[in-house]
């Protein structure tokens, strides 16, 4: 059991595989007629979202409810936060209300860590995305999806040793890329980053990755997985590429590029997609695409995370 899930940095192979195996068990329960488990009955989970999100918020809500937790969803818009209330005040208010777990999404990198270490609340904290820092449950569901596609019902106990993953696009602003780098490499995969020079972080010396600026070269290398990232215009404060058309030409996964991939290669995207910009619609809808599987697998993975964080002594 863990007190919090803030980051995938520091994950060991064994911890990653164990959490993915629990997610397998949780996913199996979702194929039954009665999908609810009594595991977190009597536990209160607050979804504390300071940023807009649809799929992540709904996924966490579904996961918590299927574990029989009581769920409170808090949106910063129209709340006391919009009137100037601080994160500390919000956390202390939720503590006074008896929150056992808090799932937080925030525009500031490190917000989840602050909440977990400040002493403002005794709740278990799950990071649902903080600024450009990390998004650990997205990385977990991506790893789960890759493992499931490769090994099917024989996935339990397996890592991703020997899997080559190419991550393409807005690496600079991507918390999904960072969480995937730490988790996928801990599980034995190799990770290669491809982006325009302006969208590659300048300091990647300590990262267990290789980097490049040529997508065609990466595609022709025959990777097992190509993970396309959304161009995050809302986080861009300046022009990082001349035009959308030029970006799509040089860094979009077109039908022609996808056709050059090995037949077994997977195409992933964390969503929401900019169709026609980072990925062609026909590629996103192709059999090699795992986009909808990632959404489906997210519920079982987040059930496993909530179980891991909250089903120990805190929930007792």
Known binding-site residue numbers: 55-56, 83, 105, 135, 138, 175, 230, 271-272
Helices within the chain (DSSP H only): 13-29, 55-66, 87-96, 111-117, 136-151, 175-186, 215-220, 244-251, 255-259, 281-284, 291-310
Q: Which of 138, 159, 145 is nearest to 59 (CA)?
A: 138
CA gap 287, 190 in Å, rounded: 24
- The answer for 261, left when phi > 0, alpha when psi is -120 to 50, beta otherwise, is beta
Q: Which residues are annotated as a binding site for L-aspartate?
A: 83, 175, 230
* Percent of residues in the chain assigned helix, strand, coil, to nearest 5: 40, 15, 40
Catalytic residue numbers?
Answer: 55-56, 83, 105, 135
Largest CA distance in the chain: 57
Cα angle 90, 91, 92 (rounded to 5 degrees) comes to: 95
Q: How far is CA 23 from the centre of its chain?
A: 14
Nearest Cα residue to 240 out of 199, 195, 193? 199
308 CB contacts (<8 Å, ≥6 apart)? Answer: 1, 2, 5, 19, 22
Annotated binding residues for carbamoyl phosphate, as ranges?
Answer: 55-56, 105, 135, 138, 271-272
- Beta-bridged to residue 33, according to DSSP, are none
Cα separation, 133 vs 107, in Å, equals 10
Q: Report the run of H or E that residue 165 belongs to, with start and end.
A: strand 164-168
Which of 15, 230, 6 shows the shortest CA–CA distance to 137?
Answer: 6
Distance in Å from the first CA to the final CA of the chain: 13
């Amino acid at each position: 059991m863990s007190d919090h899930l803030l980051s995938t940095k520091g994950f060991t192979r064994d911890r990653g595989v164990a959490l993915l195996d629990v997610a397998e068990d949780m996913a199996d329960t979702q194929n039954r007629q009665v999908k609810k488990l009594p595991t977190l009955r009597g536990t209160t989970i607050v979804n504390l979202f300071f940023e807009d999100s649809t799929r992540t918020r709904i996924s966490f809500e579904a996961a918590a409810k299927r574990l029989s937790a009581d769920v409170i969803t808090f949106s910063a818009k129209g709340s006391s936060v919009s009137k100037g209330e601080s994160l500390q005040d919000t956390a202390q208010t939720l503590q006074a209300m008896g929150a056992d777990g808090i799932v937080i999404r925030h525009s500031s990198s490190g917000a989840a860590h602050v909440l977990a270490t400040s002493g403002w609340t005794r709740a278990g904290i799950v990071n649902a995305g903080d600024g450009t820092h990390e998004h650990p449950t997205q990385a977990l569901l991506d790893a789960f999806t890759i493992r499931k596609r490769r090994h099917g019902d024989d996935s339990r106990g397996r890592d991703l040793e020997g899997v080559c993953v190419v991550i393409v696009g807005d690496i600079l602003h991507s918390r999904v890329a960072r969480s995937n780098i730490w988790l996928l490499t801990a599980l034995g995969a190799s990770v290669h980053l491809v982006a325009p020079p302006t969208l590659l972080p300048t300091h990647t010396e300590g990262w267990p990755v290789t980097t490049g600026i040529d997508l065609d070269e990466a595609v022709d290398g025959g990777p097992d997985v190509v993970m396309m990232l959304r161009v995050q215009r809302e986080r861009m404060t300046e022009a990082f590429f001349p035009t959308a058309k030029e970006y799509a030409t040089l860094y979009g996964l077109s039908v022609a590029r996808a056709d050059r991939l090995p037949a077994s290669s997977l195409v992933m995207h964390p969503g929401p997609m900019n169709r026609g910009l980072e990925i062609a619609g026909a590629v996103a809808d192709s059999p090699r695409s795992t986009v909808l599987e990632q959404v489906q697998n997210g519920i079982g993975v987040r059930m496993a995370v909530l179980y891991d964080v909250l089903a120990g002594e805190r929930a007792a």
